[in-house]
Structure 1
């Protein structure tokens, strides 16, 4: 006959077993796993959008700093030229004073060679007028440059303030990524494999629908020399991990990869997927060729390198590595050409 303590221990053991079974069932439930997958996609997508905004803000700050530096250099050069011309004009005035400061008419009347005096007077007058005109122009240019510099400096301050505000968003990005990684880590190994299988199956289904349209018969198959270099460099990055904000050489985010492979091909393009979409030449999907970039999602939050035969190389998201994937595995926004 069981004692009260034995009965209590048995009850605890049974409760633990039921809890474990319930947890396993919850993770194994296809609907629950689908919900987990949807949450992961949302977290990573939001992190990707915020990442591009932050990186884009950094690019704008750097570009504006460069512009302000150039404008300041031009102001300094204008100031130096004005100082030089002012000094020359002062020297000419002092020389005229030392010579008696006679007006040109009197110099003409007293000169032994009136023709020579007239020529000298004419040249002197033209030189003075030219100097005055140049100084007037330089003064106007200096004021214009100062105004432009002040405007650019003001914009720089606004951009820097905006980027400081984005630092808080940057911390949120890291929290979102950490939350997604924690969510994945809590899945048992079989569920992780099933999660990957779900991703792969959805990609295959989307690719099959895309290919069924006959699109691959229209898309170009030959890359330009620069495009071949970009593809070759991207191929050498396969297997390197995704790291938020990274642009090589040991890890990449999506646009860090595309910008660096094209830089290796001798073509400098914007750093972020949003700027790549905004500033590079758009081409129709059916006119795409290997080496072009496919931009994904309505907010241009992801980008990949098209390598031909309906395939891309991209850096997917945290927890994944640079890999080859079907081109239509995500919602295509459009195509841009770095070497247009």
Structure 2
């Protein structure tokens, strides 16, 4: 009777050992997933918000493609509608020409001339009959071409609609990715005690000040321009009026902005249309050496061009930084500068 008890005891010890091992592994995984020092917290927050900003840029780019496709589809539909109207008119003309020939009896022009008591009048009638016949042929040719054009435009519109739906699916995936990253970052921040959040803010400010001081020590502010163009002044004035408004990913005003939403709207207020995302602004706008930049230019940040701000002079920028923050003035070199672009004004 004791052997079964010993076997049961062995199973209990084994289960306890496995449970302890699993608990230890879980604790180690939790420690790996959750940073323990403020430096680790700061690094993880920067990573989460950076990933969110990259995803935001991709979402905005997809949204821009959807907008362009919708406009293209509307244009195609308008062209199809116009072509249908033209088709109806040509059909009417073709029918009218056929009826006119029928009323003429179908007699060849040469015979009408031979039998006519007034050869001059017959000659006129023959010319008109020949002209009507040619016009009918032209109408029919145009009718066929119009039908072909209508079919091609309809197929094109259907293709645009299919690509539009695919873009919507891609955009929805980007939306979920952004929301997940922002949610994770906010959970991490909310897990900190008030004093830890203060210390974290102090660390971020110290890092930004050191980066700015290093940048200014190169003498860069003595080289850069200090006067904006008239358009640049308008862009800066617009951005200045937005200070204090919250960052919201995908937003381009009037009540909230993301980084490129702010810069694109600022320059639109100056009468200049520029690309919507920071990646597109970096890729499509004219690049300027940092030493040649002037107020109103756009500073692009990070190696993947995932952030952008408006340079306002004296080493400062206006930007919409990240979720949980507001449009504000900060130091131009507080983040890793990739380069400078200038909207053509």
In the superposition, the TM-score normalised over structure 2's length comes to 0.80
**1:130 to 2:130 alignment:** no
**1:204 to 2:204 alignment:** no
What displacement does 1:44 show?
A: 0.7
CA distance in 2, matches of 1:258, 1:264: 10
What displacement does 1:232 show?
A: 0.6
Cα distance, 1:158–1:172 mapped onto 2, change above 3 Å: closer
Partner residue in 2 for 1:219: 224
CA distance in 1, matches of 2:107, 2:219: 91
CA distance in 1, matches of 2:161, 2:180: 33
Asked if the contact 2:97–2:132 (Cα under 8 Å) also holds between the matched residues in 1, the reply is no
**1:83 to 2:91 alignment:** no
Partner residue in 1 for 2:271: 266
What displacement does 1:125 show?
A: 4.1
CA distance in 2, matches of 1:82, 1:224: 52
Cα distance, 1:146–1:107 mapped onto 2, change above 3 Å: farther
Cα distance, 1:89–1:288 mapped onto 2, change above 3 Å: same
What are the equivalent positions in structure 2 for 1:54-133 lying under 5 Å apart? 54-111=59-116, 112=118, 113=120, 114-133=122-141
User: For structure 1, which segment, 150-159 or 269-278, has the greater mean C-alpha deviation from structure 2 after superposition?
Assistant: 269-278
CA distance in 2, matches of 1:210, 1:106: 97
Which of 166, 170, 175 aligns to 2:175? It is: 170
Asked if the contact 1:57–1:163 (Cα under 8 Å) also holds between the matched residues in 2, the reply is yes
CA distance in 2, matches of 1:63, 1:298: 28
Partner residue in 1 for 2:253: 248
Partner residue in 2 for 1:27: none
User: For structure 1, which segment, 294-303 or 226-235, has the greater mean C-alpha deviation from structure 2 after superposition?
Assistant: 294-303
CA distance in 1, matches of 2:113, 2:203: 100
Asked if the contact 2:98–2:136 (Cα under 8 Å) also holds between the matched residues in 1, the reply is no
Partner residue in 2 for 1:339: 344
Partner residue in 2 for 1:228: 233
In the superposition, the TM-score normalised over structure 1's length comes to 0.81
Partner residue in 1 for 2:26: none
Cα distance, 1:186–1:156 mapped onto 2, change above 3 Å: closer
Partner residue in 2 for 1:19: none
What are the equivalent positions in structure 2 for 1:248-327 lying under 5 Å apart? 248-327=253-332
Cα distance, 1:99–1:118 mapped onto 2, change above 3 Å: closer
Cα distance, 1:79–1:208 mapped onto 2, change above 3 Å: same
Which of 157, 160, 164 aligns to 1:152? It is: 160
Deviations 1:71-105 (A, max 9, x none): 12212211220221121011111111012122233
User: For structure 1, which segment, 103-112 or 191-200, has the greater mean C-alpha deviation from structure 2 after superposition?
Assistant: 103-112
Gaps (5+ residues) in structure 2?
1-35
Partner residue in 1 for 2:27: none
What displacement does 1:126 show?
A: 4.1
Asked if the contact 1:226–1:339 (Cα under 8 Å) also holds between the matched residues in 2, the reply is no
Residue correspondences, number: 307
What displacement does 1:204 show?
A: 2.4
CA distance in 1, matches of 2:169, 2:183: 26
CA distance in 2, matches of 1:110, 1:206: 104
Gaps (5+ residues) in structure 1?
1-30
What displacement does 1:52 show?
A: 1.8
